[in-house]
Amino acid sequence: MNDSAMRPLRPARNWALILGTLLGVTMMTVWSARGIGFSLTELACNLPGGSRLLVESWPPEFSYFPRLLAPLLETLQIAVVGTVIGGILAVPVAVLAARNLTPGVLVWFLDRNVMNVLRTLPDLFWAMLFAAAVGFGPVAGALALTVFTIAVISKLWSESLEAIDMGVPEAVRAAGGSWLAMLQFGAIPQALPHYVSYALYAFELNVRASMILGLVGAGGIGMVLETQRSTFEYPRVTLIVLSVLVIVLVIEQISEAIRRRLA
């Protein structure tokens, strides 16, 4: 008796919330599973045929590799062009979206919300749009990555710009400097290492994305992947996937090493 008085009260559980959440998640899951035709019997029936394809797709057809070199190089070129143009355009977009630096609340509001809307569309949608607008090929891919890069860098960097020490920019203003001078000498130098780091990060994402842009006709290795995939040349598909993975991993390692040194 005395013991129970000493013990702290067991926290009450909100059973309504727990049951409601479980019920909601279960219903959503059942609804989704039915909607997409999730069936284990179908999986079991298809598995023998599918595993034959998996067996066929190994070993990769290494003799095909020389023909991949040019498209792989083109893929990297798309990523570089997209990152550089996007990285330059992201600077004004990020500055205007930083609350402490923006010249007007209206500009800030518009910039922020337009970018939020742009960010909802996946990179491959941009590739399809630009392929329709400027024609199939690497230029469409580079433009798609440009938009994607602006979206990534401006979001991350505007947050770093908001976190800078405002003393220096205010000093520039107090000394009679213009808004641009304030940016150039007061604000941007403080956040420059962040910018370089985010630009490298965007490059990593772009290399990864550029590998699949070709699936919708936006140039690079993805276009080869699409033709080999649609003719079920899976030994070649495996070779392409492996070379893409190696390149992505190597570039990520290099870029991460540089970013760690910057931080």
Binding letters toward other proteins, positions 158-197, x by CB under 8 A: ----------------------------------------
Q: Decide if 143 contacts 82 (C-beta within 8 A).
A: yes
Task: Kindly state whether residue 35 participates in binding other proteins, applying the rule CB under 8 A.
Answer: yes
When the beta carbons of 161 and 200 are compared against other proteins, the nearer one is: 200
The interface region with other proteins, picked from 2-10, 33-41, 157-165, 167-175 by CB under 8 A, is: 33-41
Which residues from 41-70 bind other proteins, rule CB under 8 A?
Answer: 42-43, 46-47, 49-51, 53-54, 57
x/- track of binding to other proteins for residues 96-135 (CB under 8 A): --------------------xx--xxxxxx--xx-xxxx-
| Residue 205 burial (CB count, 10 A) | 17
Q: How far apart are CA 179 and CA 174, in angstroms?
A: 11
Count the site residues for other proteins by CB under 8 A: 63
- Position 48: which residue type? P
Residue located via tokens 């860098």: 153
Segment interacting with other proteins (CB under 8 A) among 78-86, 154-162, 163-171, 176-184 = 78-86
Among 93, 156, 225, 239, binds other proteins (CB under 8 A): 225
Quote the tokens at residue 128.
């399809």
Is 257 a binder of other proteins (CB under 8 A)? no
Structure tokens at 146: 């440009």
Tokens of 245: 């993975």
Q: Are 225 and 50 in contact (CB under 8 A)?
A: no
| C-alpha closest to that of 71 among 190, 238, 211 | 211
In the bound state with other proteins, the residue whose beta carbon lies nearer, of 46 and 63, is: 46
In the complex, the smallest distance separating the C-beta of residue 180 from other proteins, rounded to whole angstroms, is 19
HEC states along 175-220? CCCCHHHHHHHHHHHHHHHHHHHHHHHHHHHHHHHHHHHHHHCCCC
What residues between 142 and 161 interact with other proteins by CB under 8 A? 142-143
Report in angstroms the alpha-carbon separations of 156 from 7, 167, 194. Answer: 48, 22, 9
Phi/psi for 216 (5° steps) reads -110, 20
Judged by the rule CB under 8 A, the positions of this chain that interact with other proteins are 28-29, 31-33, 35-39, 42-43, 46-47, 49-51, 53-54, 57, 73-74, 76-78, 80-81, 84, 116-117, 120-125, 128-129, 131-134, 137-139, 142-143, 208, 211-212, 215-216, 219, 225, 229, 232, 234, 237, 241, 244-245, 248-249
